[in-house]
Amino acid sequence: MRSQTLNRWLDNRNVLGLLFMLPAAAILLVFLTYPLGLGVWLGFTDAKVGRGGGWIGLENYQWLWEDSVFRLSIFNTFLYTVVASVIKFVLGLWLALLLNRHLPFKSFLRAIVLLPFIVPTVLSAIAFWWIYDAQFSVLSWTLVKMGLIDEYINFLGEPNLARASTIAANVWRGVPFVAICLLAGLQTISPALYEAAAIDGATPWQQFRNITLPMLSPIIAVVMTFSVLFTFTDFQLIWVLTRGGPINATHLMATLSFQRAIPGGALGEGAAIATAMIPFLLAAILFSYFGLQRRKWQQGGADK
Amino acid sequence: MASVSLKQVRKSFGHTEVVHGVDVSIDDGEFVVLVGPSGCGKSTLLRMIAGLEEITDGEIYIGDRLVNAIAPKQRDIAMVFQNYALYPHMTVFDNMAFSMKLAGRSKREQRERVDEAARILGLEEYLERFPRQLSGGQRQRVAMGRAIVRKPQVFLFDEPLSNLDAKLRVQMRTEIRELHQRLKTTSVYVTHDQIEAMTMADKIVVMNGGHVEQIGSPLDLYDYPANLFVAGFIGSPAMNFLHGSLVTTTSGRAVRLAPDCTLAAGPTEEPDGRKVVLGVRPEHLVINGPAAAGVEAEVIVTEPTGADTQVFCRMAGREVAAISRERHLFAPTTRIRLDVMEGKACLFDPETGQRL
Amino acid sequence: MAEKEQREGMHYLESLPRRWVTVYIPLLLFLFVLLFPFYWMGLTAFKPDAELLSSGGNPFWVMEPTLEHFRKLFIDTSYPEWMWNTVIISVVSTFVSLAASVFAAYAIERLRFKGSRQLGLAIFLAYLVPPSILFIPLATMVFQLGMFDSRWALILTYPTFLIPFCTWLLMGYFRSIPFELEECALIDGATRWQILTRIVLPLAVPGLISAGIFAFTLSWNEFIYALTFISASENKTVPVGVITELVEGDVYHWGSLMAGALVGSLPVAVMYSFFVEYYVAGMTGAVKE
């Protein structure tokens, strides 16, 4: 009798739902939601490593606002995100279109292309570090041999070069992700649409403009949101390649936050920098969310 | 085996009521078809009998047992789904034996019952295959086999043939019917296809907008439709509806469609001048040459099917269809005359739609 | 069932030279750029120091391949321990996350209890929270809980990004299983638990594999938490160990660094080569909707 009541109880969706949600919810509440709040709170304190901090209100933010390095890091973050995302989108879409063609070894090619995304970022960043080395760079060696330059380039030693080099490495890692996701989107477009367009007399460019792009736009919005988020909060690549140098030229908000908080010991200040990233992230999410809404409406809400 | 009875059954999703007080009683061993256009509530009704949807109000009995609060597994029913719902990761044997496994039946009993069902359905060779290795018709048979092995009180079918191509559909229709004659299990069958309903049912329940429009044997429904909806829904091509008013002519009562254009209506008590809808099935319209009796009509299109010929024409400003056994080959705009076979006309009230 | 007719489409209209210019050459360039760093990594790992540091000769080939860098890596450093740590942490956190995610995803997608839609959205938002804004508060928590410099610090924090990812992915898989299968099982007499274990899970195996290997890769590649929460050399993971321990001052042991990067990439690369389709399904599945 008791087991029967227990069984009925377990067949109730609300009870069972709650039970099933418990492990995931517990972990996420303790290690995600709580720290998220704690991080915001820490931003208002003068906590140091090994010592809890007291409430100091907006002092961290005031201090940061006048800190030229922090401002520079905001500029760098935006530059890095915008330039890298745009290039990733253009190259990724191009690569996706190439891979969507009638090709031999199609799935093999697709597998190879994704490799840079799979390998640990830190480890591939080390390869880039070596490629960008001031004395032994293979890039410089090739350019010298081709007679294009006279002396080795100090890729990571000069501010703008360092920015370009880190962006290039980020693009290298991000293009496969964008390309493979967009390729998946391309494969869902019915060939009949292109056949109809071809019979209607559309040129390849017109087909791209009037079929491919509109059909692909929902997935573009999602993929680029992810791409922007990952780029904006990037830490590993910069930390390995430049640690924010030379003269803070490549410091992103994430790397600056780490440097101030962990080696520098100023947890409160680091948390404030990290918290300052949240509004930008929210803006990016909302932007793509509303972008998506409009798309669904455009396509009669039928896109899945 | 058992009877099924539905008493004032209602279903609401949120604030919208989709089934408005349905009463149906199904006798033991009867094959009942619920038919109606999509969204008429027939599937919801079936799912309430199965226990997959809660009954908002009213009562459902299977045998003598009130099943409103009883879980599907305890209702002693089996259901065949539109997409068959075969478990893709199990062989045909395991699919059919799954319910017995859950119930803890012995391996021997499982084997015996599955073998028996497989023999009935001609599935012996396929027991070790997976659903994906079967054709549509075979999958359909497995789904039925899964229902048979349980020896349930009631079979429920939810549009089981709509995923098959036309030829297989006709074949499976016969097979299901044969199976029923053999097992005599009470069956409730949902479909939107009136031909399936006509050919398979002992009793048809026509539903529309959450109401039952009419319950009766197939031919009763065909010959004596209770209202315009049933008259229009049953039969293909559909019954012709012609608006007009009653008059008395030298040859009896008739309906005047236009100033000098009347069609025989057969005997009726209704007074002259009453507005009515005259319903005539296409095969009850006689096609005559231009000089004969009847109302003049102009041919729009002629469609020979081989067995008979469908003629679509315009009569008194309305399109009507006629079917003839003769192989007419009228060119468009040919003038012909149409007449109603004696005693084959139905009259409906244009306001309420009810038969007069 | 009607057989699908073979189609080749309109590509007969394109001449071969044109295809070379518009398709093959750009594709080869892409492949070259995407793969070159791996070639370079591999080549450097086998190059003796003398060749590495000489400016003469052809840098694109190795004259006298050596295993010296690998020997140094495995004998002189704690590399084997880092490997072991990474394996343990990745495997455990993957299994924990997968288990929690299966239940959560099934509950949200199929039980449809009160508030499940909102929870689904919350899971998606959790997926968007980046580690770089969580590592500071997590560091203080890890310290207070006494887990600093232990594997537990990582095993317990990795699920913060693994669970949202896996749950989101599995929700998509569960959604693709027809409701009728579950209803049919209900009529067949199965309980909710039996439906989950005997119908839903066997059918979601591809999704479980996708989620599992993706979660494993994400944990293997994780850097910022491992860098922050671990300090003793023997407790480090591969990415952190390579970058912090193999660099001594200004002397870069390029050979060993590259060997470390190569060996550290190998497990995920090998797994990837076996499960490419699942990877692609996982990645694109997580992005859809």
Query: Which tens digit of pLDDT belongs to each residue from A142-189?
Result: 888 888 888 888 888 888 999 999 999 999 999 999 999 999 889 888
* pLDDT, greater one: A104 or B108: B108
Q: Which domain holds residue C145?
A: 77-288
Is residue B297 packed enough to be buried (19+ CB in 10 Å), middle (13-18) or exposed (0-12)?
A: buried
Between CA C88 and CA C237 the distance in angstroms is: 10
> Chain C interface, mutation test: which of B100, B101, B113, most C Cβ atoms within 10 Å?
B101
Q: What percent of chain C has pLDDT over 90?
A: 37
Contact across the interface for A32 and C160, Cβ inside 8 Å = yes
Between CA B97 and CA C213 the distance in angstroms is: 34
User: Is 60 exceeded by the pLDDT of residue A297?
Assistant: no
The answer to whether the CB of A92 falls within 8 A of the CB of A100 is no
- Of C40, C167, C284, Cβ closest to residue A24: C167
- Parallel, antiparallel or unpaired: strands B261-264 and B335-340: unpaired
At C150 the three-state DSSP class reads coil
Contact across the interface for B78 and C203, Cβ inside 8 Å = no
Between CA B151 and CA B147 the distance in angstroms is: 7
| Buried/exposed code over A67-104 (b: 16+ C-beta within 10 A; e: otherwise) | eeebebbbebbeebbebbbebbbebbbbbbbbbbeebe
Q: What's residue A191's pLDDT?
A: 85
Q: What's residue C2's pLDDT?
A: 39
Contact across the interface for B52 and C186, Cβ inside 8 Å = yes
> Looking at chain B, which runs of residues are DSSP E strands?
4-13, 16-26, 31-35, 57-62, 65-66, 77-80, 154-158, 186-191, 203-208, 211-216, 240-249, 252-258, 261-264, 275-280, 285-288, 295-304, 309-315, 318-324, 335-340, 346-348
Q: Using a CB-CB distance cutoff of 8 angstroms, which residues of chain C are in contact with residue B51?
A: 186-187
User: Is 50 exceeded by the pLDDT of residue C1?
Assistant: no
The 10s digit of each residue's pLDDT in B24-71 is: 999 999 999 999 998 899 999 999 999 988 899 999 999 999 999 888
Across the range A34-49, mean pLDDT stands at 89
Assess if residue C208 is contained within a domain: yes
B43-48: long-range contacts at Cβ-Cβ below 8 A with a sequence spacing of 24 or more? B43/B158, B43/B159, B43/B190, B44/B11, B44/B18, B44/B19, B45/B6, B45/B9, B45/B11, B45/B19, B45/B190, B45/B207, B46/B156, B46/B158, B46/B188, B46/B190, B47/B158, B48/B9, B48/B11, B48/B19
- Of C181, C190, C203, Cβ closest to residue B102: C190
> Chain C interface, mutation test: which of B43, B89, B142, most C Cβ atoms within 10 Å?
B89
Contact across the interface for C107 and A267, Cβ inside 8 Å = no
Helix axes A159-187, A68-99, angle to 10 degrees: 40
Contact across the interface for C183 and B81, Cβ inside 8 Å = yes
* Residue whose token pair is 């942490």: C89
Classify the phi-psi angles of B306: left when phi > 0, otherwise alpha if psi is within -120 to 50, otherwise beta: left
Assess if residue C200 is contained within a domain: yes
User: Is 90 exceeded by the pLDDT of residue A29?
Assistant: yes
Assess if residue C20 is contained within a domain: no
Q: What is the CATH number of domain A45-299?
A: 1.10.3720.10
Q: Using a CB-CB distance cutoff of 8 angstroms, which residues of chain C are in contact with residue B77?
A: 187
Contact residues, C window 246-275, toward A, CB-based 8 Å cutoff: 252, 254, 257-258, 260-262, 264-265, 268-269, 272-273
Contact across the interface for A122 and C126, Cβ inside 8 Å = no
Residue partners of A40: CB distance under 8 A and separation at least 6: A271, A275, A278
Between CA B41 and CA B300 the distance in angstroms is: 37
User: Is 60 exceeded by the pLDDT of residue C125?
Assistant: yes
Q: What's residue A168's pLDDT?
A: 95
Neighbours of chain C (3+ CB pairs under 8 A): A, B
Q: How confident is the model at residue C225 (pLDDT cuts 50, 70, 90)?
A: very high
Neighbours of chain B (3+ CB pairs under 8 A): C
Among B56-70, B165-179, C216-230, C243-257, the range scoring the smallest mean pLDDT is C243-257
Hey, is the C-beta of A198 within 8 angstroms of any chain C C-beta?
yes
Q: What's residue C274's pLDDT?
A: 87
Q: What's residue C7's pLDDT?
A: 64
Number of folded domains in chain C?
A: 1
Contact residues, C window 66-95, toward A, CB-based 8 Å cutoff: none
User: Is 80 exceeded by the pLDDT of residue C13?
Assistant: no
Q: Using a CB-CB distance cutoff of 8 angstroms, which residues of chain C are in contact with residue A127?
A: 37-38, 40-41, 258, 261
Assess if residue C47 is contained within a domain: no
- Of C34, C129, C157, Cβ closest to residue A176: C34
* Residue whose token pair is 């599907």: B72
Shortest CA distance from C133: residue in chain A: A274
Q: What's residue B263's pLDDT?
A: 86
Contact residues, A window 89-118, toward C, CB-based 8 Å cutoff: 91, 94-95, 98-99, 101-103, 107, 109-118
Across the range C232-253, mean pLDDT stands at 83
Structure tokens at B293: 């009796």
Contact across the interface for C140 and A94, Cβ inside 8 Å = no
- Of A28, A98, A172, Cβ closest to residue C27: A98
Hey, is the C-beta of A262 within 8 angstroms of any chain C C-beta?
yes
Phi–psi pair at A104, nearest 5 degrees: -75, 155
The 10s digit of each residue's pLDDT in A3-12 is: 556 566 666 7
Preceding peptide of C206 cis, ω within 30° = no
Q: Using a CB-CB distance cutoff of 8 angstroms, which residues of chain B are in contact with residue C189?
A: 73, 99, 102-103
Q: What percent of chain A has pLDDT over 70?
A: 92
Hey, is the C-beta of A2 within 8 angstroms of any chain C C-beta?
no
Q: What's residue C48's pLDDT?
A: 85
Q: What's residue A303's pLDDT?
A: 39
Among A71-80, A104-113, B170-179, the range scoring the smallest mean pLDDT is A104-113
Contact across the interface for C287 and A109, Cβ inside 8 Å = no
Q: How confident is the model at residue A292 (pLDDT cuts 50, 70, 90)?
A: low
The 10s digit of each residue's pLDDT in C29-76 is: 999 999 999 998 888 888 888 777 776 667 788 877 888 888 888 888
B13-21: long-range contacts at Cβ-Cβ below 8 A with a sequence spacing of 24 or more? B17/B56, B17/B210, B18/B44, B18/B210, B19/B44, B19/B45, B19/B48, B19/B210, B20/B210, B20/B211, B21/B57, B21/B58, B21/B211
Q: How confident is the model at residue A301 (pLDDT cuts 50, 70, 90)?
A: very low
- Of C183, C188, C203, Cβ closest to residue B102: C188
> Chain C interface, mutation test: which of B44, B79, B165, most C Cβ atoms within 10 Å?
B79
Q: Mean pLDDT by 10-residue block, N- to C-terminus, for chain B (356 residues)?
A: 90 91 93 93 93 92 91 90 90 93 92 93 92 91 91 92 89 91 94 93 94 94 93 91 89 84 84 91 87 84 90 89 88 89 88 90
User: Is 90 exceeded by the pLDDT of residue A193?
Assistant: no
> Where are the domains positioned within chain A?
1-32, 45-299
The answer to whether the CB of B143 falls within 8 A of the CB of B84 is yes
Q: How confident is the model at residue C16 (pLDDT cuts 50, 70, 90)?
A: confident
Hey, is the C-beta of B71 within 8 angstroms of any chain C C-beta?
yes
Hey, is the C-beta of C30 within 8 angstroms of any chain A C-beta?
yes
- Of C181, C186, C199, Cβ closest to residue B72: C186
Contact across the interface for C60 and A32, Cβ inside 8 Å = no
The answer to whether the CB of B29 falls within 8 A of the CB of B6 is no
- Of B85, B135, B136, Cβ closest to residue C184: B85
Across the range C188-195, mean pLDDT stands at 87
At B239 the three-state DSSP class reads coil
Contact residues, C window 210-239, toward A, CB-based 8 Å cutoff: 217, 220-221, 223-224, 227-228, 238-239
Query: Nearest-CA distance from C37 to chain A in Å?
Result: 6
Give the domain CATH number at C238.
1.10.3720.10
Q: What's residue A304's pLDDT?
A: 34
User: Is 90 exceeded by the pLDDT of residue A53?
Assistant: no
